[in-house]
Amino acid sequence: MAITVTMPRLSDTMEEGTLVKWHVGVGDDVSAGDHVADVETDKATMELQAFDDGKVARLAVDEGGTVPVGDLILVLAESGESVDDAAKADAGSGGASGGDEKMKADESRDKKEGEQTQESAASGQAAVAEDADVRRTQKQAGASGGRVRVSPLARKIAEEKDLDLTQIKGSGPDGRIIKRDVLKAADGKDDAAAPSAGGESKKTAAPAPAPAVGGADLEARSVSLSGMRKTIAKRLVESKTTIPHFTVTVSVNMDPLMELRKTLNAQLESQGVKLSVNDFITRAAALACVQHPMVNASWNGDTIEIAGTVNVGIAVALPEERGGGLVVPVLRDVQNQGLRSISEQTRKLAKKARETGLSADEMGGGTFTISNLGMYGVDHFEAIINPPQSAILAVGGAIKKPVVRDDQIVIGHEMTATLSADHRVIDGAIAAEYLNTLKQMIENPAGLLV
């Protein structure tokens, strides 16, 4: 009997998911625990794992398709069952989901995608518009002999500029066409409209106005929000309007840490290990939380919940081809980990977040968060608390500048660290004491090695 797989609820607030990429094809063998697809939820792009053994009989959702939680997305053939029989059985009976599951899934998917394409229109009009858009893309794909992988934003821009998607080469994951590919093609099209050597023009157009002196032309456009971006916006507004934020900042002498890091990396180079400044800060922040547990706590209405371990979230910005936005992978039990372990886990999770997406477990359970914009040249900023946590540490860069050392003006490295705190949980004195402890640990980094 065919095994049906439906869109799972990968977060507590998820109502629908977008099938970003399939990692299996029809006829492939699948084992329980295999990574079969990447799904974009309202919070992040996550891995979808199989829970049964079988052979792929049908992929019920195309890449880029959005379906509600509970709708059919994949059909597997059981051991001893042919792929064709499983696919036919599911098409005829709806598998374990009911007689008309396929039809319901398709109708629901069309409705949801229509709402995303034209949110301001009535649901019926949106569904019609999206259906027409799908048919156009399918027609183009048929002309080229294959599926056109294209992001929603790139498709919209291509339609506005009357570009043929089948003639555009994608630079995104697996050749997916993204915004920059369409804009590049549009520039080429404009160039082609210029007069030829014979004096003729392929396309008659009014001359473009000269740009303003000292400036550049900008293109007015509307950018559709992904489910992740909508959730980020909702949570940030909720955080700023419901949590009484206050901030405290200290300046840290980074010279000792920079020297220690340089020495350690020279010794570890042959082992392929390279410690970052953020690795030291993460360990120092976790150890400081042990000394000041209120910073590692959360507000729970009638109680303050102090965590029994320090699980540090590291804010990671996603590239444009993965929809942009911000995710926060979590390093667990950091107070008991050394610098090498922290470094390895941070790099692994950040790479996975940017390339394939994180699982719900890899983003859950954080008790404290670090946001570091120092690599962008930022020297100071204030971060917004990630509820239900009560604090977040904003870290600037280790800036080389004139500083005072032993009553002398010298050149040294200084870094600002700003703690945003929930005043319901953390008093000003507690925040100041935490930052002083953090400052002492970073300025005496040898203690972070033990």
Which residues are known to be catalytic? 423
Given a contact cutoff of 8 angstroms between Cβ atoms, the answer to whether 104 and 52 are in contact is no
Residue 433 phi/psi, 5-degree rounding, is: -65, -40
Sequence-ordered strand ranges (E) for 32-191? 35-40, 45-49, 54-59, 66-68, 72-77
Per the rule left: phi > 0, alpha: psi between -120 and 50, beta: everything else, 407 is left
Which of the 8 DSSP states describes residue 212?
Answer: P
298 bridge partner residues = 305, 389
Cβ–Cβ < 8 Å for 141, 147: yes
From 192, 187, 176, 194, select the one nearest 219 (Cα to Cα): 187
CA distances from 175 to 60, 105, 134, 147, 278 (A): 21, 28, 19, 11, 33
| Cβ(416)–Cβ(401) below 8 Å | no
Using the Cα atoms of residue 427, residue 287, residue 327 and residue 74 in order, give the sign of their dihedral: negative
The closest alpha carbon to 173, from 358, 359, 356, belongs to 356
CB-CB neighbours of 450 under 10 Å: 5
Give the span between the Cα atoms of 49 and 20, in whole angstroms. Answer: 14
Q: Measuring CA to CA, which residue among 84, 121, 91, 115 is closest to residue 105?
A: 91
DSSP notation for 196-215: -TTS-BSS--PPPPPPPTT-
Which pair of tokens denotes residue 409? Answer: 């003006």
- In this structure, are residues 17 and 66 in contact, taking their beta carbons and an 8 Å threshold? yes
Task: List residues bridging with 437 in a β-sheet.
Answer: none
Q: Cβ(39)–Cβ(14) under 8 Å?
A: no
373, two tokens: 């914009």
